[in-house]
Amino acid sequence: MNVILGTAGAAGGGVGMFVTVAYMAVFFGIMWFLVIRPQKKREKQVVEMQNAIKVGEHVLLQSGEYGKVVDIINDVFIIEFGLNKSVRIPVKKAAVAAIQEPNLTIGKKVEPKVGTRVVEEDGVEYEYIEVEEEVEE
Protein backbone atom coordinates (compact mmCIF):
# COMPACT_ATOMS: atom_id res chain seq x y z
CA MET A 1 0.00 0.00 0.00
CA ASN A 2 2.86 2.39 0.81
CA VAL A 3 4.41 1.78 -2.57
CA ILE A 4 1.23 2.77 -4.38
CA LEU A 5 0.82 5.95 -2.33
CA GLY A 6 4.48 6.84 -2.86
CA THR A 7 4.18 6.71 -6.63
CA ALA A 8 0.92 8.64 -6.59
CA GLY A 9 2.56 11.35 -4.45
CA ALA A 10 5.50 11.58 -6.84
CA ALA A 11 3.19 12.07 -9.80
CA GLY A 12 1.31 14.82 -7.97
CA GLY A 13 4.58 16.46 -6.91
CA GLY A 14 5.65 16.70 -10.55
CA VAL A 15 2.59 18.77 -11.40
CA GLY A 16 3.11 20.96 -8.32
CA MET A 17 6.73 21.48 -9.27
CA PHE A 18 5.73 22.44 -12.80
CA VAL A 19 3.26 25.02 -11.44
CA THR A 20 5.93 26.45 -9.13
CA VAL A 21 8.40 26.75 -12.00
CA ALA A 22 5.72 28.36 -14.17
CA TYR A 23 4.94 30.94 -11.44
CA MET A 24 8.65 31.74 -11.09
CA ALA A 25 9.01 32.13 -14.86
CA VAL A 26 6.02 34.50 -15.00
CA PHE A 27 7.39 36.49 -12.03
CA PHE A 28 10.82 36.90 -13.63
CA GLY A 29 9.18 37.86 -16.94
CA ILE A 30 7.16 40.59 -15.26
CA MET A 31 10.25 41.84 -13.39
CA TRP A 32 12.17 41.96 -16.66
CA PHE A 33 9.48 44.08 -18.33
CA LEU A 34 8.97 46.40 -15.35
CA VAL A 35 12.51 46.88 -14.05
CA ILE A 36 15.35 45.58 -16.20
CA ARG A 37 14.11 46.57 -19.67
CA PRO A 38 13.40 50.27 -18.86
CA GLN A 39 16.69 50.56 -16.99
CA LYS A 40 18.65 49.21 -19.95
CA LYS A 41 16.77 51.60 -22.24
CA ARG A 42 17.73 54.60 -20.04
CA GLU A 43 21.36 53.43 -19.89
CA LYS A 44 21.42 53.16 -23.69
CA GLN A 45 20.07 56.73 -24.03
CA VAL A 46 22.69 58.06 -21.61
CA VAL A 47 25.52 56.32 -23.49
CA GLU A 48 24.22 57.71 -26.81
CA MET A 49 24.08 61.21 -25.29
CA GLN A 50 27.63 60.89 -23.93
CA ASN A 51 28.92 59.70 -27.32
CA ALA A 52 27.20 62.63 -29.08
CA ILE A 53 29.01 65.31 -27.06
CA LYS A 54 31.23 67.56 -29.16
CA VAL A 55 33.93 70.09 -28.38
CA GLY A 56 32.47 73.43 -27.28
CA GLU A 57 29.32 72.06 -25.62
CA HIS A 58 28.46 72.83 -22.02
CA VAL A 59 27.90 69.75 -19.86
CA LEU A 60 26.59 68.99 -16.40
CA LEU A 61 28.57 66.41 -14.42
CA GLN A 62 27.02 63.94 -11.99
CA SER A 63 28.67 65.88 -9.16
CA GLY A 64 26.59 68.97 -10.13
CA GLU A 65 29.41 70.99 -11.72
CA TYR A 66 29.03 72.73 -15.07
CA GLY A 67 31.84 72.92 -17.59
CA LYS A 68 32.68 73.36 -21.24
CA VAL A 69 34.27 70.54 -23.26
CA VAL A 70 37.51 71.78 -24.82
CA ASP A 71 38.98 68.46 -25.99
CA ILE A 72 38.06 64.78 -26.32
CA ILE A 73 40.67 62.04 -25.93
CA ASN A 74 39.39 58.45 -26.19
CA ASP A 75 36.84 58.12 -23.37
CA VAL A 76 38.01 61.25 -21.51
CA PHE A 77 36.69 64.79 -21.83
CA ILE A 78 38.93 67.74 -21.02
CA ILE A 79 36.50 70.10 -19.35
CA GLU A 80 37.08 73.77 -18.61
CA PHE A 81 35.57 74.98 -15.33
CA GLY A 82 34.99 78.52 -14.16
CA LEU A 83 35.11 81.83 -15.91
CA ASN A 84 38.87 82.35 -15.87
CA LYS A 85 39.44 79.68 -18.55
CA SER A 86 42.48 78.21 -16.80
CA VAL A 87 40.93 75.31 -14.88
CA ARG A 88 40.93 72.27 -17.16
CA ILE A 89 40.27 68.82 -15.72
CA PRO A 90 40.10 65.46 -17.46
CA VAL A 91 36.80 63.69 -16.78
CA LYS A 92 35.60 60.25 -17.91
CA LYS A 93 32.61 60.17 -20.27
CA ALA A 94 30.60 58.21 -17.72
CA ALA A 95 30.69 61.17 -15.30
CA VAL A 96 28.65 63.40 -17.66
CA ALA A 97 24.98 63.53 -16.65
CA ALA A 98 23.58 65.90 -19.30
CA ILE A 99 24.34 68.36 -22.05
CA GLN A 100 23.17 71.53 -20.33
CA GLU A 101 24.30 75.12 -20.09
CA PRO A 102 24.17 76.75 -16.64
CA ASN A 103 21.47 79.33 -16.02
CA LEU A 104 23.46 82.34 -14.82
CA THR A 105 20.69 84.92 -15.04
CA ILE A 106 19.58 86.58 -11.85
CA GLY A 107 15.83 86.45 -11.47
CA LYS A 108 13.71 88.67 -9.30
CA LYS A 109 12.29 87.07 -6.21
CA VAL A 110 8.62 87.93 -6.11
CA GLU A 111 7.12 88.18 -2.66
CA PRO A 112 3.53 86.97 -2.49
CA LYS A 113 0.78 89.43 -1.63
CA VAL A 114 -0.86 89.45 1.78
CA GLY A 115 -3.66 86.89 1.97
CA THR A 116 -2.35 84.60 -0.77
CA ARG A 117 -1.76 80.89 -0.29
CA VAL A 118 1.45 79.31 -1.57
CA VAL A 119 2.16 75.58 -1.83
CA GLU A 120 5.85 74.79 -1.36
CA GLU A 121 7.68 71.92 -3.09
CA ASP A 122 7.33 69.66 -0.08
CA GLY A 123 3.52 69.90 -0.30
CA VAL A 124 3.11 72.25 2.67
CA GLU A 125 0.67 75.11 2.20
CA TYR A 126 1.44 78.54 3.66
CA GLU A 127 -0.72 81.63 3.90
CA TYR A 128 0.87 85.07 3.99
CA ILE A 129 -0.79 87.39 6.46
CA GLU A 130 0.14 90.84 7.70
CA VAL A 131 1.00 91.02 11.38
CA GLU A 132 1.25 94.22 13.36
CA GLU A 133 3.44 94.19 16.43
CA GLU A 134 3.14 96.64 19.25
CA VAL A 135 6.44 98.02 20.42
CA GLU A 136 6.59 99.14 24.00
CA GLU A 137 8.78 102.10 24.69
> pLDDT, tens digit, for every residue of 15-55?
888 899 999 999 999 988 888 889 999 999 999 999 999 99
Looking at the domain assignment, is residue 122 inside a domain?
A: no
Residue that wins the pLDDT comparison between 15 and 126: 15
Question: Looking at the domain assignment, is residue 46 inside a domain?
Answer: yes
pLDDT value of residue 130: 64
Contact call for residues 130 and 111 (beta carbons, < 8 A): no
In a domain, 118, yes or no: no
Residue 96 CA to residue 48 CA, distance in Å, equals: 12
At 89-125, the pLDDT tens digits run 999 999 999 998 888 777 766 666 666 666 666 667 6
| 38 and 63 housed in the same domain | no
Q: CATH number of the domain that 70 lies in?
A: 2.30.30
- 81, 26, 28: which is closest to 58 by C-alpha? 81
How many angstroms separate the CA atoms of 109 and 66, rounded? Answer: 24
Q: Quick one: 23 and 67 in the same domain?
A: no
Amino acid identity, position 3: V
Q: Do the Cβ atoms of 36 and 53 come closer than 8 Å?
A: no
Banded pLDDT at 59 (limits 50, 70, 90)? very high
Give the residue-averaged pLDDT of 83-94: 87
Measured on CA atoms in the order 53, 59, 61, 62, is the torsion positive or negative? negative
Q: Name the residue range of residue 89's domain.
A: 54-99
Question: CA-to-CA distance for 99 and 50, rounded, in angstroms?
Answer: 8
Q: Which residue blocks in 32-62 are alpha helix, DSSP H?
A: 37-51
Look at residue 101 in the predicted model and tell me its pLDDT. 87
Q: What integer pLDDT is reported at residue 131 of this predicted model?
A: 62
Higher pLDDT, 122 or 74: 74
63 pLDDT tier (thresholds 50, 70, 90)? very high
12 pLDDT higher than 60: no
